[in-house]
Structure 1
């Protein structure tokens, strides 16, 4: 029951965030930006976030580029939807770009003291969450809003993990473990939802 209430609250927050994203998307539409351009920018800024840690150990730049990458990722879908330029190719490129970005943003946790097993587990679960959604939607199931945390929330958690690692490593570790636990729960929720829907169809 608590999970249901939390899901409802999170979906309401997502709806409010979508309104803000749509307003920003209209600006990019007026300037002639195509969804593909924003997808590429999202991936490039994720790469810059990765390099910020791997080459320069700069957590502040990592946070900045991760935020920008997440924003571009949200806007590209909004631009495609608002301009009726959604396509199978665009969806494929966007999904592939997101998975590459996830790896680029999660992997640098190794460079701020987290161990290999924690990082691999988070990458694996994150990719599986996205895979389950993509596979289900290819079967005709609508998965938007299913599960406690979607990609945007996971990125926010990772940013908080990096930020808190600057002044409190124990807190940072605790937040990472919470992210892993919530991600696993989200994966289970999506699998259970898919099984129930497919069994009843």
Structure 2
């Protein structure tokens, strides 16, 4: 319910921009690749420790991720090929952001850097499994959208964590903050993604055995 309300609110907010893109002849695929480019820039800022800029870019990328589908519907260009491209680019976008976070913890050189790197790696594996199980289930004819840590939740949690860590660093400095907020966020993300993966596996297994 909350996600539906959030998506509806985003639809209303981006409607003028969606209309402008449609009028300018910008295709949904262009928006999809722009989304990847923004996430790539966010990963660069993460690696450099510029967390507030990275968080802002990830927020903007999230809006673009929502807009490619809106542009496709508005211009009657919604195609299975576009949906496939969007899904693949979404995975690449998520991975490059995680890579930027790995670089952030690696260069942070704090007492908790090792734990940060491990948690980001575990969160990557959990996120990939969540997406893979859904894709595999759909290939078997099962709609699988269950779980507490789907893509929207992951993006929101990561963005909030990055921005909060960035604000904390601006007051206390990079070394003094030691990435503790992001470590807590990625601990939650790791547990949540793997629980979601197991939940989806059990759900699909039961559906296949009905």
2:201 pairs with 1:184: no
Aligned to 1:97: 89
Aligned to 2:19: 30
Aligned to 2:160: 160
2:63 pairs with 1:71: yes
1:48·1:65 contact (CA, 8 Å) conserved in 2? yes
CA 1:36/1:150 → structure 2, altered by over 3 Å: closer, same or farther? Answer: same
Aligned to 1:106: 98
2:189 pairs with 1:196: no
What is the aligned-residue RMSD (CA, Å)? 2.0
Instruction: Identify which range, 21-30 or 180-189, moves more after superposition.
Output: 21-30
Instruction: Identify which range, 95-104 or 132-141, moves more after superposition.
Output: 132-141
Instruction: Report how far residue 97 of structure 1 moved.
Output: 0.5
Q: How does 1:107-186 map to 2 (within 5 A)?
A: 107-110=99-102, 111-112=104-105, 113=108, 114-115=113-114, 116-144=117-145, 146-166=146-166, 167=168, 168=177, 169-186=179-196
The alignment's TM-score, normalised by the length of structure 2, stands at 0.80
In structure 2, list runs of 5 or more residues that go unmatched: 169-176
Specify the structure having the higher radius of gyration (Cα): 2
Instruction: Identify which range, 81-90 or 43-52, moves more after superposition.
Output: 81-90
SS of residue paired to 2:209: helix
CA 1:150/1:193 → structure 2, altered by over 3 Å: closer, same or farther? Answer: same
2:59 pairs with 1:59: no
Give per-residue Cα distances to partners, 1:31-61, cap 9 Å, x unaligned: 214321221111010011011122x421111
The alignment's TM-score, normalised by the length of structure 1, stands at 0.83
Aligned length: 187
Instruction: Identify which range, 154-163 or 17-26, moves more after superposition.
Output: 17-26
Aligned to 1:18: 7
1:26·1:79 contact (CA, 8 Å) conserved in 2? no
